[in-house]
């Protein structure tokens, strides 16, 4: 992608698919979407989680939504 391009759900899913190709065979893949505490962040995270679950196949069974520096860290877990 060109420098300065808008990051899309499809770009994130494509990158994640490349990363999980090299995972151990029995490893579970649980992406963590951070910064859900920002305005509109939870809604955006839910959309991205749904997209990842739809396009990730059986390799992704759940996506964790949260804020790494917040309390609690985990806000929601979206399951396939």
Q: Which pLDDT tens digit goes with each residue over 13-71?
A: 888 888 888 888 888 889 999 999 999 999 999 999 999 998 876 678 899 999 999 89
Q: What is the 3-state secondary structure (H, E, C) of the chain?
A: CCCCCCCCHHHHHHHHHHHHCCCCCCCCECCEECCCCCCCHHHHHHHHHHHHHHHCHHHECEEEEECCCCCCCEEEEEEC
Residue ranges covered by each domain of the chain = 26-79
**What is the pTM (predicted TM-score) of this model?**
0.85
The mean pLDDT of 4-13, rounded to a whole number, is: 91
Per-residue pLDDT at 42: 95
Report the distance separating Cα 19 and Cα 77, nearest Å. 21
pLDDT per residue over 41-51, tens digit each? 999 999 999 99
């Amino acid at each position: 992608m060109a420098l300065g391009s808008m990051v899309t759900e499809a770009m994130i899913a494509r990158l994640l698919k490349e990363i999980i190709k090299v995972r151990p065979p029995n490893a579970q893949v649980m992406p963590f979407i951070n910064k859900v505490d920002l305005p509109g962040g939870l809604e955006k995270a839910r959309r991205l989680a749904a997209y990842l679950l739809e396009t990730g196949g059986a390799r992704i069974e759940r996506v964790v939504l949260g804020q790494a520096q917040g309390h609690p860290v985990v806000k929601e877990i979206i399951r396939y």
